[in-house]
Chain A
């Protein structure tokens, strides 16, 4: 099936700098897609190009088999919610929401009815006569959403719409937007740099890095099966170790190092070659044990021996910094271990993200 919105071989940039190069993307009807990446990765540029505010150098954008590449923003059936909300300060809430309908020359009654509907839908009832300056951040955000939804767009584009909200309000607005999107069945593209926000809101996450799509997939996929070291790190696997690996058939052996005995585990879909590897895992995926604890480990569990250098309590669990020679890793545990204590760090095979080290990159990293 052809996707509802498709971006084909699109290159975008400003002046002589290219930001996105030959990018392909397909989004199904009714899907909620998050474009996730750190600042400067090109996610906002991608959104603005889809919206029609930036013209691509090459490539095409199609909506339901209509080529919209050269169309002005308002003819694409899309509405954009801006990061700054971009509400018009001289207009009331009702005027802001109804402006798109006024531009479509709809009758006064139609506009009033639709504005009322939007205000009720978004919990803005009774605020129609206020100016944006008299609203809270969350209310402004909802007015911006109402203004975009009032014209009944096929595609809703959200440019970091939650980044200007208080942390607590953000958590509720996330769910509000998501349930609204589901209820209206609208196709949505959401740009964010917040991993958790993308995880809870989106059907599919597209992780971008330096103008390329690093990985796309369901939240579970990108979380549990990161396709590259960048994705693994971005999805929270910040602990990094360098090792040697030997691949034999469907098995991979992580060679013995100064802090660990060797283990053998199944490749389990990983594409690896014999040679230097980098290994990543999350602080919460590892288990901490006293060094005299002789519990027999499940086969394939990586065991590291190190020393606790510091302990902190971020809430819910204790976070330990463990020194392994030159390296330091972070490991969570339910009970605190003493500073200076020798410990075993056990990481189950399925929580290990293993990648071959690309030549040259390793040296660059060592510097």
Chain B
């Protein structure tokens, strides 16, 4: 009895922190989503869907496209780090690919804004090289800009996980495939990736959740409609003081990420069976 009490006492500080600063605010905002005036109802949700259903689709599509691109790029980079035969270029890539991880989202947004704008650095270079005329230039400051920013920022993180998993594979499983005549691309797709799929999935889901919560990038790059839910939430609170709809949008984001988490849980359960 005494030891149980002691154990509880040891856990208590952490428990208080979590309850006070995480669970209580979460439940408050979930409850807030159902508060319409003085009573409870689905008013905030119907309003959210009326005003922002386009933005919800926009958000899911953008984050999904980004996730797929991040997956492909991280497999490509990790694969080259694992299977590359030129030690110097492997070393350079290994040194280079991590840099974007240390740059905050807001800075990424800012950098890409000046780079991708209609008269930004990228188009200026293309024009001065004679590839485009000034009339042909278009800005990328729309959904494409957001995807570029997300992919650029999140690929290193997923690559870090994927390359680590690839490096700890039994090398002889790769050599056995080479011994039978598999090309490096086939080895990557048929031998390496299936063995690290669990790690890849975890990385992509963490990335998905991170991207769902980024406010700075859509604000910096895509200050128009449709935009991402994070920007809508900020707008509801800052411009209208409308906490009800903001909370409802928050719950919807939460459900979207929960859906992804469910896919992940299903997958890991299947792997165990």
Q: Is the CB of A84 within 8 A of B170?
A: yes
CB under 8 Å from chain A, chain B span 194-238: 194-195
Q: Which of B52-60, B150-158, B178-186, B240-248 contacts A (4 or more CB under 8 A)?
A: B178-186
CB under 8 Å from chain B, chain A span 29-68: 51, 53
Q: Which residues of B contact A82 (CB under 8 A)?
A: 172, 175-176
Option from A73, A89, A151 in Cβ contact (under 8 Å) with B178: A73
Name the residue in B170, B172, B179 with the highest tally of chain A Cβ atoms < 10 Å from its Cβ. B179
- Smallest CB gap from B182: residue in A: A103
Interface of B is mostly: helix
Does B177 sit at the interface, judged by CB under 8 A?
Answer: yes
Give Cα distance in the complex from A79 to B179, angstroms: 6
Does B268 sit at the interface, judged by CB under 8 A?
Answer: no
Count, A-B residue pairs, CB within 8 A? 55
Q: Which residues of A contact B176 (CB under 8 A)?
A: 80, 82, 86-88, 147
Does B173 sit at the interface, judged by CB under 8 A?
Answer: yes
Chain B: interface residue total (CB-CB under 8 A)? 15
Q: Is the CB of A99 within 8 A of B170?
A: no
Q: Which residues of A contact B170 (CB under 8 A)?
A: 84, 86
Does A276 sit at the interface, judged by CB under 8 A?
Answer: no
Q: Is the CB of A88 within 8 A of B181?
A: no
Does B191 sit at the interface, judged by CB under 8 A?
Answer: yes
Give Cα distance in the complex from A51 to B179, angstroms: 8
- Smallest CB gap from A95: residue in B: B190
Give Cα distance in the complex from A79 to B178, angstroms: 10
Does A100 sit at the interface, judged by CB under 8 A?
Answer: yes
Contact A90-B180, Cβ < 8 Å, known A80-B175, A82-B175, A84-B172: no
Interface size bucket, A side?
20 to 34
- Smallest CB gap from B194: residue in A: A90
Does A104 sit at the interface, judged by CB under 8 A?
Answer: yes
Q: Which residues of A contact B172 (CB under 8 A)?
A: 82-84, 86
Give Cα distance in the complex from A48 to B53, angstroms: 61
Give Cα distance in the complex from A207 to B78, angstroms: 41
Option from B175, B181, B194, B195 in Cβ contact (under 8 Å) with A103: B181
Q: Is the CB of A74 within 8 A of B195?
A: no
- Smallest CB gap from B176: residue in A: A86
Q: Which residues of A contact B179 (CB under 8 A)?
A: 51, 53, 73-74, 78-80
Q: Is the CB of B195 within 8 A of A89?
A: yes
Give Cα distance in the complex from A53 to B180, angstroms: 12
Contact A74-B180, Cβ < 8 Å, known A80-B175, A86-B173: yes
Give Cα distance in the complex from A74 to B175, angstroms: 10
Contact A90-B195, Cβ < 8 Å, known A82-B172, A84-B170: yes
Give Cα distance in the complex from A104 to B182, angstroms: 9
**Distance of B89 from chain A, by nearest CB (Å):** 18
Give Cα distance in the complex from A41 to B177, angstroms: 27
**Distance of A223 from chain B, by nearest CB (Å):** 32
Give Cα distance in the complex from A84 to B194, angstroms: 19
Q: Which residues of A contact B180 (CB under 8 A)?
A: 74, 79, 99-100, 103, 147, 151
Name the residue in A53, A86, A151 with the highest tally of chain B Cβ atoms < 10 Å from its Cβ. A86
Q: Is the CB of B195 within 8 A of A99?
A: no
**Distance of B93 from chain A, by nearest CB (Å):** 21
Give Cα distance in the complex from A78 to B176, angstroms: 11
Contact A99-B175, Cβ < 8 Å, known A88-B191, A88-B195: no
Q: Which residues of A contact B177 (CB under 8 A)?
A: 88, 99
**Distance of A199 from chain B, by nearest CB (Å):** 27
Give Cα distance in the complex from A99 to B170, angstroms: 18
20 further contact pairs, Cβ within 8 A, besides A80-B179, A88-B194, A89-B195 = A53-B179, A73-B175, A73-B178, A73-B179, A74-B180, A74-B181, A78-B179, A79-B179, A82-B172, A83-B172, A84-B170, A86-B176, A87-B176, A88-B173, A88-B176, A88-B177, A90-B194, A100-B180, A103-B181, A104-B181
A-B pairs with beta carbons under 8 Å apart, 23 shown? A51-B179, A53-B179, A72-B178, A73-B178, A73-B179, A74-B179, A74-B181, A74-B182, A80-B175, A80-B179, A82-B172, A82-B176, A86-B170, A86-B175, A86-B176, A87-B176, A88-B177, A88-B195, A90-B194, A99-B177, A100-B181, A147-B176, A147-B180
The list of the 7 closest CB pairs from A to B, nearest first, reads A74-B181, A100-B180, A86-B172, A90-B194, A86-B176, A82-B172, A86-B173
Which residues of A does B touch, CB under 8 Å? 51, 53, 72-75, 78-80, 82-84, 86-90, 99-100, 103-104, 147, 151
Which residues of B does A touch, CB under 8 Å? 170, 172-173, 175-182, 186, 191, 194-195
